[in-house]
Amino acid sequence: MKTVMIKTHEAWLEMLMAGFMSRTENKQVLFDFSDILFRHFTWLENELIELGESYSYDRDTIPVKVERLSDLLNNIIKRLNEIDLQLLSSPDKALDARIASDLHYMKEVLKDMKDEVITAFNTERKFPGLELTQEATDALTLFLFEETYKEYELIMIYNYLKAHSNDAYMNRIFQILIDESFFHLKSFGDMGAKMGILAVPRVVMKELYQVEDVVQFLKDGIDEELAAKEECKKLSEAVSKDSPELAKFFDFINHQENYHISLMTDALEHYTKDKNA
């Protein structure tokens, strides 16, 4: 089951990367499939927890640098076939049947998907329709590299915490933060692909998500969100002269961080009160 979960994790990221690369109607289908694979991942994780099995979010490297979308889709189909074979070890036959059915449909759709030339790795660092200064380009490049990993990291951390919590109040907050991080990850990943600098986020160290001190984690998280707000503000200022629209987008992200801070503050108060009760 651990192998199935790892392979599903990898397939989810591959499908997500394919969504970033696409510039046609394929994009939404690939994003939808990646969302389904992430749900599979969480269901498999829950099964491991129910069985009392220890696990981590370690995975293999995922080579995604391709010249044509079909090359990556063929790799994804092979990985889905591997998952299908490994499902035979699942004790939950209803889950096995659901995942197998989903994978069968995905493979059929991917086989017939219209091919595309991929420009997500050309390193041109040019944002479509914009003429950014070197300073603005450098600032945006650094931001996208750092924040794409950060949002993936947050998804894994909050997902792990949610999977190991029976506190409905905390889990509601964790789910909101997961959803928000998915929106940011998709936004930044798509921008990275447009600029030709798409990259797969590195593996998250288990020490980051296997949290022992939740109170300190939440306090650190609030500080990180405050720092993220400053980074968004700096980037908005850096691109404002060249692109008011892009500046408004980063202001939009900046303002979203305010609610994240509020949620984490509520979580901190709730957890502290519950712990002291």
Domain boundaries, the chain: 1-118, 120-277
Question: Helix or strand or coil: residue 124?
Answer: coil
Q: What is the pLDDT of residues 224-242, one digit of tens each?
A: 889 888 888 888 888 888 8
- What pLDDT is stored for residue 93 in this prediction? 86
Q: Look at residue 276 and tell me whether its pLDDT is greater than 70.
A: no
If you count them, how many residues does the chain have? 277
Tokens, residue 263: 């949620």
Instruction: Judge if pTM exceeds 0.85.
Output: yes
The span from the CA of 211 to the CA of 267, in Å, is 15
Token code pair at residue 65: 């640098």
CATH topology identical between 1-118 and 120-277 = yes
d(CA 118, CA 263): 39
Most confident of 33-42, 215-224, 233-242: 33-42
The alpha-helical segments, DSSP class H, found in 131-243 are 134-163, 168-194, 206-209, 214-239
Q: For residues 116-133, give the mean pLDDT.
A: 93
For CA atoms 72, 13, 246, 197, the dihedral sign is negative
More confident residue, 220 or 242: 220
> CATH fold of 120-277, please?
Ferritin (1.20.1260)
Percent of the chain past pLDDT 70, that is, above it, reads: 98
Amino acid at 155: I
- 72-76, 114-118, 158-162, 231-235: the lowest-pLDDT one: 231-235
Identity of residue 231? E
Question: DSSP code of 58?
Answer: -
Quickly tell me which residue has 């059929």 as its tokens.
108
The domain defined by 1-118 carries CATH number 1.10.10:
no
**Burial (0-12, 13-18, 19+ Cβ within 10 Å), 130:** middle
Q: 2-21 and 69-86 are packed helices; what angle lies between their axes, rounded to 10 degrees?
A: 160
Q: How high is the mean pLDDT of the chain?
A: 93
Task: Check residue 277 and give its pLDDT.
Answer: 58
**pLDDT tens by residue, 236-260:** 888 888 888 899 999 999 999 999 9
| Per-residue confidence (pLDDT) for residue 54, from 0 to 100 | 93
Of 35, 13, 42, the C-alpha closest to 102 is 35
Question: What phi, psi does 203 have (nearest 5°)?
Answer: -65, 140
Q: What is the DSSP letter of 91?
A: S
- Return all residues near 132 (Cβ < 8 A) that are at least 6 apart: 126, 140, 239, 242, 243
Percent of the chain with pLDDT over 90: 79
The rounded distance, in Å, linking the Cα atoms of 268 and 116 is: 47
Q: Which residues contact 260 (CB under 8 A, 6 or more apart)?
A: 177, 180, 225
Instruction: Please tell me the predicted confidence (pLDDT) of residue 275.
Output: 67
